[in-house]
Amino acid sequence: MTNRTFRSIFAFVLTTTLAVFGLMRQPDAGAQGANPFDTGGRDDKPAGEVFKNVQALKNMPAGRLAGVMNGWTKALGVKCNHCHTPGAWEKEDVPAKQIAREMVALTSRINNESLKEVKNLKSERPSISCYTCHRGAVKPETAPPAPTPAPAAPK
């Protein structure tokens, strides 16, 4: 796989992945109404150069970060404070932030390595995202729901 294809797939996965994750640098991020995703016009710069403590997404264009983060909040049904300390976005005090980083790496490995080993998939480029398992819940279901009982027959 070429590096360009890998980056395209990784970017696609991350933008559809939808979860929450740790990062931002903003001088007035604690101010009322401040936008933690304000790049100061540096949308095309790597997120790791624009924001503090970006790790898994450091090479993504900074201007795309808000869309990824917002998508992840929907995939898990959470708000930013699930992984972050509002106003101190770069802090490492919320354990869910590290879990999110590890899940991003897991999703990437599945999409870029494991799915290639599955024969006869109908998609040329199969992929998963956070939503594949989470479906809007912090804790994904690990078993199918119990069947609903059939209505009683009329007497």
pLDDT higher at 7 or 46: 46
Which tokens go with 7? 């980056």
Residue 70: the pLDDT is 95
Collapsing DSSP to helix, strand or coil, 61 comes out as: strand
Domain segments of the chain: what residues? 3-134
CA–CA distance, 139 with 52 (Å, rounded to integer) = 28
Residue 9: the pLDDT is 54
Instruction: Please tell me the least confidently modeled range out of 4-13, 21-30, 32-41.
Output: 21-30
pTM score, two decimals? 0.70
Residue 151: the pLDDT is 87
Residue 10: the pLDDT is 53
Residue 141: the pLDDT is 86
- pLDDT 10s digits, 42-79: 999 999 999 999 999 999 999 999 999 999 999 999 99
Collapsing DSSP to helix, strand or coil, 24 comes out as: coil
Instruction: Please name the residue ranges forming H helices in the chain.
Output: 3-17, 47-50, 65-76, 95-112, 130-134
The CATH number of the structural domain formed by 3-134 is 1.10.468.10
Q: Which of 83, 79, 57 is nearest to 70 (CA)?
A: 79
DSSP 146: P
Q: Which of 89, 133, 88 is nearest to 107 (CA)?
A: 133
